[in-house]
Amino acid sequence: MLTQDDALRIVGTVPDPEVPVISVVELGIVRDVTVAPDGGVAVTITPTYSGCPAMREIERDITAALTAAGAPRVELRTVLAPAWTTDWIGPEAREKLRRYGIAPPGKAEPAGLITLMRARTPVPCPWCGSRDTELRSEFGSTACKAIHVCRSCRQPFDEFKAF
Protein backbone atom coordinates (compact mmCIF):
# COMPACT_ATOMS: atom_id res chain seq x y z
CA MET A 1 0.00 0.00 0.00
CA LEU A 2 1.21 3.50 -0.81
CA THR A 3 2.15 5.81 2.01
CA GLN A 4 1.32 9.49 1.96
CA ASP A 5 4.95 10.24 1.00
CA ASP A 6 4.92 7.66 -1.83
CA ALA A 7 1.73 9.13 -3.25
CA LEU A 8 3.08 12.68 -3.10
CA ARG A 9 6.38 11.62 -4.70
CA ILE A 10 4.54 9.81 -7.53
CA VAL A 11 2.31 12.81 -8.23
CA GLY A 12 5.53 14.87 -8.26
CA THR A 13 6.83 12.81 -11.21
CA VAL A 14 3.89 13.77 -13.44
CA PRO A 15 5.10 16.46 -15.87
CA ASP A 16 3.07 19.47 -16.89
CA PRO A 17 2.03 18.49 -20.43
CA GLU A 18 2.60 22.02 -21.71
CA VAL A 19 5.96 22.59 -20.01
CA PRO A 20 7.40 19.10 -19.44
CA VAL A 21 10.50 20.29 -17.55
CA ILE A 22 8.39 21.02 -14.49
CA SER A 23 6.05 18.67 -12.65
CA VAL A 24 2.43 19.37 -11.83
CA VAL A 25 3.54 19.73 -8.18
CA GLU A 26 6.17 22.33 -9.12
CA LEU A 27 3.53 24.11 -11.17
CA GLY A 28 1.67 24.58 -7.88
CA ILE A 29 -1.68 23.12 -8.93
CA VAL A 30 -1.63 20.11 -6.56
CA ARG A 31 -3.23 21.32 -3.34
CA ASP A 32 -3.43 18.03 -1.45
CA VAL A 33 -2.68 14.31 -1.72
CA THR A 34 -4.38 12.00 0.79
CA VAL A 35 -4.15 8.22 1.13
CA ALA A 36 -7.31 6.59 2.58
CA PRO A 37 -7.11 3.58 4.97
CA ASP A 38 -7.89 1.25 2.03
CA GLY A 39 -5.04 2.67 -0.08
CA GLY A 40 -7.20 4.82 -2.35
CA VAL A 41 -5.63 8.15 -3.18
CA ALA A 42 -7.45 11.47 -3.34
CA VAL A 43 -5.68 14.26 -5.19
CA THR A 44 -6.95 17.81 -4.92
CA ILE A 45 -5.98 20.15 -7.73
CA THR A 46 -6.67 23.76 -8.62
CA PRO A 47 -6.77 24.24 -12.39
CA THR A 48 -4.43 26.84 -13.89
CA TYR A 49 -7.34 28.53 -15.58
CA SER A 50 -10.79 27.28 -16.49
CA GLY A 51 -10.88 25.71 -19.91
CA CYS A 52 -7.15 25.02 -20.02
CA PRO A 53 -7.13 21.94 -22.27
CA ALA A 54 -4.12 20.52 -20.42
CA MET A 55 -6.17 19.93 -17.26
CA ARG A 56 -7.87 16.80 -18.65
CA GLU A 57 -4.50 15.43 -19.61
CA ILE A 58 -3.05 16.24 -16.18
CA GLU A 59 -5.92 14.43 -14.42
CA ARG A 60 -5.43 11.42 -16.66
CA ASP A 61 -1.66 11.37 -16.12
CA ILE A 62 -1.96 11.64 -12.32
CA THR A 63 -4.50 8.80 -12.27
CA ALA A 64 -2.33 6.64 -14.52
CA ALA A 65 0.84 7.23 -12.45
CA LEU A 66 -0.87 6.38 -9.14
CA THR A 67 -2.67 3.35 -10.61
CA ALA A 68 0.61 2.04 -12.03
CA ALA A 69 2.15 2.40 -8.55
CA GLY A 70 -0.60 0.19 -7.08
CA ALA A 71 -3.28 2.59 -5.87
CA PRO A 72 -6.59 0.65 -5.94
CA ARG A 73 -8.51 3.80 -6.80
CA VAL A 74 -7.74 7.41 -7.51
CA GLU A 75 -10.10 10.27 -6.94
CA LEU A 76 -9.47 13.69 -8.45
CA ARG A 77 -11.01 16.63 -6.64
CA THR A 78 -11.02 20.14 -8.00
CA VAL A 79 -10.87 23.20 -5.80
CA LEU A 80 -11.39 26.54 -7.52
CA ALA A 81 -10.73 28.90 -4.61
CA PRO A 82 -8.30 30.34 -3.95
CA ALA A 83 -7.64 30.62 -7.66
CA TRP A 84 -4.31 29.39 -8.94
CA THR A 85 -1.81 32.06 -9.82
CA THR A 86 1.59 31.84 -11.46
CA ASP A 87 2.93 33.17 -8.12
CA TRP A 88 2.53 29.57 -6.88
CA ILE A 89 5.32 28.41 -9.18
CA GLY A 90 8.30 27.92 -6.88
CA PRO A 91 11.83 29.36 -7.34
CA GLU A 92 13.36 26.02 -8.43
CA ALA A 93 10.69 25.52 -11.07
CA ARG A 94 11.28 29.10 -12.32
CA GLU A 95 14.97 28.31 -12.71
CA LYS A 96 14.09 25.14 -14.65
CA LEU A 97 11.84 27.16 -16.95
CA ARG A 98 14.63 29.65 -17.60
CA ARG A 99 17.13 26.89 -18.39
CA TYR A 100 14.55 25.39 -20.76
CA GLY A 101 14.34 28.74 -22.57
CA ILE A 102 11.02 29.94 -21.18
CA ALA A 103 10.90 33.27 -19.37
CA PRO A 104 9.24 32.57 -16.01
CA PRO A 105 6.11 34.55 -15.15
CA GLY A 106 6.45 37.91 -13.44
CA LYS A 107 4.35 38.93 -10.47
CA ALA A 108 0.67 38.30 -11.13
CA GLU A 109 -1.60 41.32 -11.59
CA PRO A 110 -4.16 41.98 -8.87
CA ALA A 111 -7.31 39.94 -9.60
CA GLY A 112 -9.52 41.43 -12.28
CA LEU A 113 -6.88 43.56 -13.96
CA ILE A 114 -5.44 40.83 -16.12
CA THR A 115 -3.77 41.06 -19.49
CA LEU A 116 -5.99 43.47 -21.46
CA MET A 117 -3.71 46.40 -20.75
CA ARG A 118 -0.68 44.70 -19.33
CA ALA A 119 1.93 47.19 -18.27
CA ARG A 120 4.78 46.20 -20.50
CA THR A 121 8.05 45.97 -18.69
CA PRO A 122 10.46 44.11 -20.97
CA VAL A 123 10.75 40.40 -20.24
CA PRO A 124 14.39 39.38 -19.68
CA CYS A 125 15.73 36.94 -22.29
CA PRO A 126 16.12 33.45 -20.73
CA TRP A 127 19.11 32.75 -23.01
CA CYS A 128 21.36 35.79 -22.51
CA GLY A 129 19.61 37.80 -19.77
CA SER A 130 19.23 40.91 -21.95
CA ARG A 131 16.24 43.14 -21.29
CA ASP A 132 16.30 44.38 -24.87
CA THR A 133 13.42 42.14 -25.90
CA GLU A 134 10.24 42.67 -27.82
CA LEU A 135 6.79 41.06 -27.68
CA ARG A 136 5.96 39.20 -30.89
CA SER A 137 2.64 37.59 -30.04
CA GLU A 138 0.40 37.42 -26.98
CA PHE A 139 -0.22 33.76 -27.77
CA GLY A 140 2.62 31.30 -28.13
CA SER A 141 2.60 27.54 -28.50
CA THR A 142 -0.22 27.51 -25.94
CA ALA A 143 -2.62 30.19 -24.71
CA CYS A 144 -0.63 30.35 -21.44
CA LYS A 145 2.47 31.63 -23.23
CA ALA A 146 3.50 34.72 -25.19
CA ILE A 147 6.28 34.87 -27.78
CA HIS A 148 9.09 37.39 -27.49
CA VAL A 149 12.25 37.94 -29.45
CA CYS A 150 15.58 39.08 -28.02
CA ARG A 151 17.30 41.94 -29.87
CA SER A 152 20.69 41.06 -28.31
CA CYS A 153 21.03 37.36 -29.14
CA ARG A 154 18.23 37.24 -31.74
CA GLN A 155 16.62 34.20 -30.12
CA PRO A 156 12.85 33.96 -29.96
CA PHE A 157 11.53 32.69 -26.62
CA ASP A 158 8.30 31.85 -24.84
CA GLU A 159 7.17 33.70 -21.76
CA PHE A 160 4.99 31.89 -19.24
CA LYS A 161 2.39 34.62 -18.77
CA ALA A 162 1.66 35.78 -15.25
CA PHE A 163 -1.95 35.50 -14.16
Binding residues (CB under 5 A) for Zn ion: these are 125, 127-128, 130, 150, 152-153
CB closer to Zn ion out of 33 and 125: 125
Prior bond of 82 cis (ω within 30°): yes
Question: At its nearest, how many Å lie between Zn ion and the CB of residue 52?
Answer: 28
Pair 11, 63: CB distance under 8 Å: no
Least distance from C-beta 153 to Zn ion, angstroms? Answer: 3
Whole-number minimum distance, CB 143 to Zn ion, in Å? 24
Residue type, 15: P
Q: What is the DSSP letter of 159?
A: E
Beta strands across the sheet bearing 74-78: 30-35, 41-45, 74-78
Q: Of the two residues 45 and 148, which places its CB atom closer to Zn ion in the complex? A: 148
Whichever of 88 and 127 has its CB closer to Zn ion, that residue is: 127
